[in-house]
Structure 1
């Protein structure tokens, strides 16, 4: 009876581990398929009729479909070129803004540094007057103004 119980427990353990392996395999396959879909991107299908049936290539209907597909490709290429031009303009504007921003930051840093020097001079003068036991008539400590 003990042997049968051990065999049955071993079988259950094996089945459980096998089930986990199959689930893991399924999850990995799903993830792989998702990555493939993401990697494909937007492929342009150049087939006009992809159903596998033969077509008469000189018929008026097929010729019209070919013309329409050609026009669509030209429109897409023109739109892509326009977007490229807009992106170039954006990059130039961004570079100009970045240069102005860096100049503004440098001006603000110079103002802040001048203020820090004035505060340090004020504190040094105040400490000197304190050491000499003199009254400090240096005025108020300078306040940093707007940047």
Structure 2
């Protein structure tokens, strides 16, 4: 029996070690991917098509194709930026709506809590008054705060 338990615990430790290695590898790969994305993304991208200082024939088919490709890429980037802007506007609007609902919920909960605190204070005051008068207290049970 003890040997079975030992084997089970060794298998569990081996499994946990392999999972830890997998998670670490995943983290390292994610970090490398993010670094590559940061390298590829620069605000000051070179707008010059051939910035090596050498003369070019601006009417050649090769250069014209490069210009067309660069123009298409700029248009794609502008469209993507506009889409992100639209998504951000929607996100801000949704966030404001959520915050308003959250504030209303918090106010409702606070009102319920205050009502409960007042009921408990009234109960305790009545119980103390009965105790001072040496009377029996028949105020029932103390109110329990219900769900918010």
Shorter-chain TM range is: 0.7 to 0.9
Describe the superposition over 1:33-59 as per-residue Cα deviations: whole angstroms up to 9, x where unpaired.
Answer: 999999995212111011111100010
1:25–1:85 distance in 2 versus 1, CA, 3 Å? closer
Between the aligned partners of 1:91 and 1:12, the Cα distance in structure 2 is 46
Structure number, greater radius of gyration: 1
Aligned length: 147
Question: Mean alpha-carbon deviation: is it higher for 29-38 or for 84-93?
Answer: 29-38
Q: Structure 1 length normalisation: TM-score?
A: 0.72
- Could you give the per-residue CA deviations for residues 46-78 of structure 1, whole angstroms, max 9, x where no partner exists? 110111111000101000100100000000000
Q: How does 1:6-45 map to 2 (within 5 A)?
A: 41-45=42-46
Q: Which stretch has the larger CA shift, 7-16 or 84-93?
A: 7-16
C-alpha distance in structure 2 between counterparts of 1:13 and 1:88, whole Å: 49
CA deviation profile, 1:105-145 (whole Å, cap 9, x unmatched): 00000000000000000000000000110010101111101
Structure 1, unmatched stretches of 5+, are none
Q: TM-score, normalised by structure 2?
A: 0.72
Distance 2:4 2:109 in 1: 85
Q: Which runs of 5+ in 2 are unaligned?
A: none
